[in-house]
Structure 1
Amino acid sequence: MISFTATYSPEDNKIRIYASSRLDAETYAQVKEAGFKWAPKQELFVAPRWTPQREDLAIKLAGEIEAEEMTLAERAAMKAERLEDLADKRHAQSNAFARRADELSQAFYMGQPILVGHHSERGARKTQERMHSAMTASVKAEKAAGYWLGRASSAEHYASRKNDPRVRANRIKTLLAELRDFQRGINRAHTALAIWDEITTDEQIRDALRNRDSRELWSGYDLYYKVDKGEIAPGDARQQCIDGAMVTVNGPNRRRWIEHILHRLAFERSMLGDVPRYDGEFTPVIIQAFAREHGAESPKCTVIAAGRFRLESPVPLPAHIASASSLELNQDDWRDLMQACGYTVPERKARRAGKPGTVPLINPSREQAEQLQEIWNLRMIAARKGKQSAAKPNEVRETEQAFYSANSKGDYDVFKTVEIAADGRPVRMKWQGHERVRSGEPVARIRIAGLGLQMYQPDAVVVITDKPGKPLPIDLDALEADARHAAAEEAAA
């Protein structure tokens, strides 16, 4: 009777099955169908990665899955030793072929030519062919030896690289991304169930299948056409979508994948050392970032009382965080939960400065914006002194950030950002000789509007109403006095 032993290694995430003797045809077909491959040198079946189906098969054959005793480094050392032995054999063959070619070359010692027409010509040509064949075989064997030596070096390098802390940290990031993907599917299924709870009548079902995204409803892309053609009743279509979403929410496979990823995360983090408990300043943003990294859907955290925080989500939170759609804990319990889940609060980085030569973008107060607008209006009046067409004043424009962003995408949009110099004038590019230079040295950037701009009318200063204002780094009072003086001279003229 065949006895089996199954092992799992978290280092390479592989399941291995050891059999005491040759498998029968039926068992071999099951093993192959599950994705296991025979490794003749190790005398075992190995799967490229863990899956619930492969785990079930291994438990079915062996009864349980044990921890793999051989580490990745030990396995790589054995493989490297085996490949080095193979390289030594090829190197020995190369030397043997080279010696044989040298022996055959003695027939042509001191440049002895082949005597054409002589009775020795046939034998000499055969000797020459054998010499060339031996030399070619020697070169091929030497190349093979180099190839196997390279494979041996790569095996050891791969094992050492897998244990490199930076590689392990990147692997943790990949596992977290996989965790979010699986959790995102559960979140979408909960959202679909909430939608179907509100949709009950046949007309509502038809309207939803026709107008809403099939992924949002957890339906097939062709389900609406089947309902429209009468192939399936609207109520049955609704139940079909609900059943599919329920399988995702309560199905065992997705939960097992999530549990497996959490176990792998715990192993990888343990290899990097203990996860430190966060003792810094605690804010709702930290809790939201923690929940979002572990797959929570649109997490929102609020302060309930001093040192007490509540985390909420439109769908149930990940099972390893909470069993409901909200969780309320005090500050110390949140710190313990984040440490238990292996979450490390990222260090706050210093705010990166802008590009070299850039100046700060300032949202002026309403008072300063009107003063700057008045300066621009007065300067336009002075500029039109003695001209036929008079200047037209402009007014400050107020808007919200969302509207400004939606209408400032290109050069021909309503809004844009300009640099201003210490004299309050917009900095523009101009030709000086054969070079384009700035008209002044910028000290700040502001937002302006060209909506409804007429001839001889200055740009309008824009104030964002839902953002805090900052003072402009220029002397507006002195600039306004100069502008009024220039405009008064124009009026007197």
Structure 2
Amino acid sequence: MIISATYSPEDNKLRLYPSARLDAETYQRVKDAGFVWAPKQELFVAPKWSPAREDLAIELAGEIEPEEMTLVERAQAKAERLDELAIKRHRQANAFQRAAEDLSEAFAYGQPILVGHHSERKARKTQERMQAAMTNANKAQKLANYWLYRAEGVQLHANYKNDPRVRANRIKTLLADLRDMQREINHAYLTFAMWEKVTEDETIKVAIGRSIPTGQLAPWDLWGKVERGEVSPQEARQQCIDAAQRSLSSDRRRRYIEHTLNRLSYERELLGPVRRYEGELTPVILQAFAREHGAHKPQARAIDAKTFILESEATLPLHLANDTELSLSAEEWRDLMQSVGYEVPQERDALPPILNLNAKALRSRHRYHRDQIQTFPVVEMTKSKYAQFHLEQRGVRLSLCGDFRFRICINPKHEPRYLAPFVAVFFTDAKAHPAPHSVAVLENSDDTQ
């Protein structure tokens, strides 16, 4: 028996193609690994990649080949199968409908059932058959519509998976997974470094119940074991060191990280070329870049006009550097960011300033009905009074002209409070800003009226 294995980066699934029926032992191993038999495709498919499933596929097939059928082709094949089911059900519906029409001829022109006549039994039987045929026709038509809906959904889903925006969101998800795995490595590194410093028994007892910014220094139940004398402080320390070393040298996590990086490379290649950053390089940009890839509290600084150094308390991600610091020139940093698919976010436009205006009223567009204009009477209060309002009872609005923003809160003088409208706020204990031209025009128009 020959078994071939394939992997598709489009859906992150492993597939096994057996040439014959698997024996009971092999089938159980494949099933326990999470593979499911797809009868229409005559293959075993795993919902997603994992190191254990990859090892099993290599053991059974010898190697894993790229999947030849794309996601769109697979969707088209499935849509064709569903279309065939829809056509079959549609034919059944037509057949049942014709049968119902033929049976209804017995009641043409309003022929009633003659109660007590020798034809009553046959007429009622014909009526039941006609109603059953109509019911079956209705069911078959509903099934036909269902399979057509499924066929359309399969194709829409394949197109949706290839949408650039969906692919960009998938890249964000992969980066989040990468940060989660790197966070575990960072915690293990910092934990190991901490336990290397703690050697005294009393200090160990205190440290067991403590935590660092990345998590607990020891398992939650270890402190109780030390207190009860089940484990000595030195044994507890060694257990924590061994656990950190196992986490740092975990082959399973390393394979997951490598697989995630490969998927990121694949998705970015399909999304399009990564734009190389040609703007001014700053430490803030480098810190954001390292943080997105899982570095622990990265700190960047410029050594000279052309060289920047990136440092972290824990080791930097392996695809960046296998050390706690990395020093590169500005051009090398740009090349590194482009090679791992990082694009510096574009700067957002600054929001208009928040002004403290002593005016009669301020106007803004309605938050939900943009064609409506709201007028907020100005109420005087202190900063401390304003801070007492709950977050949902205060906020900021953009002025009608769009040149400034102003604070609002519910009217403190209105009763009952739950029906109080929003008003603009003027702080009496803060600097008053000069009224913009739009506010001055509003004040003058109100005075004229």
TM-score by length of 1: 0.74
Residue 101 of structure 1 is matched in structure 2 by 100
- Whether the 8 Å CA contact 1:266–1:342 is kept in 2: the answer is yes
Q: Deviations over 1:278-330 (max 9, x none)?
A: 11111111111100000000000000011100000001000000010000000
CA distance in 2, matches of 1:223, 1:312: 33
Superposition pairs of residues 250-265 of structure 1, within 5 angstroms: 250-265=249-264
Shift of residue 431, structure 1, vs aligned partner: 8.4
Q: Which runs of 5+ in 1 are unaligned?
A: 362-403, 413-426, 449-460, 462-471, 475-493
Q: Structure 2 vs 1, CA of residues 254 and 409 (structure 1 numbering), >3 Å: closer, same or farther?
A: farther
Match of 1:141 in 2: 140
- Cα RMSD of the aligned pairs, angstroms, is 2.9
Distance 2:413 2:102 in 1: 83
Would the aligned equivalents of 2:7 and 2:15 in 1 still touch at CA under 8 Å?
yes
Contact 2:190 2:314 in 1 (8 A): yes
Change (3 A) 1:446 1:286: farther
Pair 1:280–1:360, CA change in 2 (3 A)? farther
Q: Deviations over 1:455-487 (max 9, x none)?
A: xxxxxx9xxxxxxxxxx856xxxxxxxxxxxxx
| C-alpha contact 1:217 1:241 (8 A) present in aligned 2 | no
What is the TM-score normalised by the length of structure 2?
0.81
- The code of the aligned residue for 2:247 comes to T
Q: What does 1:61-460 correspond to in 2, within 5 Å?
A: 61-212=60-211, 216-353=215-352, 358-359=354-355, 410-411=387-388
How far does the alpha carbon of each residue in 1:422-446 deviate from its partner, in whole angstroms, 9 at most, with x for none?
Answer: xxxxx998989xx99989x96xx69
SS in 2 for 1:315: coil
Distance in 1, matches of 2:429 and 2:313, equals 37
The residue number in structure 2 matching 1:6 is 5
Q: Could you say if the C-alpha distance between residues 349 and 219 of structure 1 is closer, same or farther in structure 2, counting changes exceeding 3 Å?
A: same
Q: Following TM superposition, by how much is the alpha carbon of 1:94 offset from its aligned partner in structure 2, in angstroms? A: 0.1
In structure 2, C-alpha distance between the alignment counterparts of 1:183 and 1:430, rounded to whole Å: 50
Structure with greater Cα Rg: 1
CA distance in 1, matches of 2:99, 2:428: 85
Amino acid at match of 2:221: D
> How far did residue 350 of structure 1 move?
1.1
The answer as to whether partners of 1:189 and 1:218 remain within 8 angstroms in 2 is no
Instruction: Measure, in 2, the Cα distance between the counterparts of 1:65 and 1:212.
Output: 43
Deviations 1:249-298 (A, max 9, x none): 11111111111111111111100111121111111111111000000000
Distance apart, 1:337 and its partner CA: 0.5
Cα deviation for residue 410 of structure 1 reads 3.3
Distance 1:201 1:147 in 2: 71
- Please give the alpha-carbon distance, in whole angstroms, between the structure 1 residues aligned to 2:147 and 2:112: 39
Give the drift of 1:42: 0.5
Aligned to 2:28: 29
CA–CA distance in 1 between the matches of 2:142 and 2:18? 36
Compute the displacement of 1:212 (Å). 4.1
Task: State the 1:209 CA deviation.
Answer: 1.8
Query: How much has 1:121 moved relative to structure 2?
Result: 1.0
- Give, in angstroms, the shift of residue 151 of structure 1: 0.3
Aligned residue identity for 1:243 = D
How far 1:360 sits from its partner (Å)? 6.6
**Is the contact between residue 214 and residue 220 of structure 1 (CA under 8 Å) also seen in structure 2?**
no
Q: Which runs of 5+ in 2 are unaligned?
A: 358-382, 390-407, 415-419, 435-449
CA contact (8 A) 1:191 1:216 kept: no
With over 3 angstroms needed to count, the CA separation of the structure-2 counterparts of 1:342 and 1:409, relative to structure 1, is farther
Q: State the Cα distance separating 1:219 from its structure 2 match.
A: 2.5
Deviations 1:364-404 (A, max 9, x none): xxxxxxxxxxxxxxxxxxxxxxxxxxxxxxxxxxxxxxxx9
Please give the alpha-carbon distance, in whole angstroms, between the structure 2 residues aligned to 1:360 and 1:310. Answer: 43
Q: After the TM superposition, which of the residue ranges 206-215 and 278-287 deviates more from structure 2?
A: 206-215
In 1, the alpha carbon distance for the partners of 2:3 and 2:309 equals: 50
Q: 1:75 to 1:125 in 2, by over 3 A?
A: same
The answer as to whether partners of 2:210 and 2:217 remain within 8 angstroms in 1 is no
Tell me how far apart the structure 2 counterparts of residues 58 and 437 of structure 1 sit (CA, whole Å).
64
Contact (CA 8 Å) 2:208, 2:217: kept in 1 or not?
no
CA distance in 1, matches of 2:52, 2:352: 52
Residue type matched to 1:15 in 2?
L
Aligned length, in residue pairs:
388
The 8 Å contact of residues 214 and 221 in structure 1, kept in 2 or not, is answered as no
Q: Distance in 2 between matches of 1:108 and 1:181?
A: 73
Q: Choose 88-97 or 342-351, whichever is displaced more.
A: 342-351
- Change in CA separation of 1:19 and 1:344 when aligned onto 2, cut-off 3 Å: same
1:42-64 CA deviation, whole Å, 9 max, x = no partner?
A: 00000111111111111111111
- SS of equivalent to 1:270: helix
User: Equivalents in 1 of 2:173, 2:54: separation in Å?
Assistant: 22
- One-letter amino acid of the structure 1 residue matched with residue 218 of structure 2: S
Change (3 A) 1:430 1:115: closer
Letter in 1 for 2:86: A
What is the Cα deviation at residue 210 of structure 1? 3.3
Q: 1:71-124 deviations in whole A, cap 9, x for unaligned? A: 000000000011001000000000000000111111111111111111111111
Contact kept, 8 Å, 1:3 with 1:62, in 2: the verdict is yes
One-letter amino acid of the structure 2 residue matched with residue 314 of structure 1: E
- Flag the 1:116–1:69 CA change in 2: closer, same or farther, 3 A: same
- Aligned mates of 1:241, 1:287 — CA distance in 2: 33
Would the alpha carbon gap of residues 409 and 297 (structure 1) be closer, same or farther in structure 2, given more than 3 Å must change?
farther
* One-letter amino acid of the structure 2 residue matched with residue 114 of structure 1: I
Per the alignment, in what secondary structure is the counterpart of residue 260 of structure 1? helix
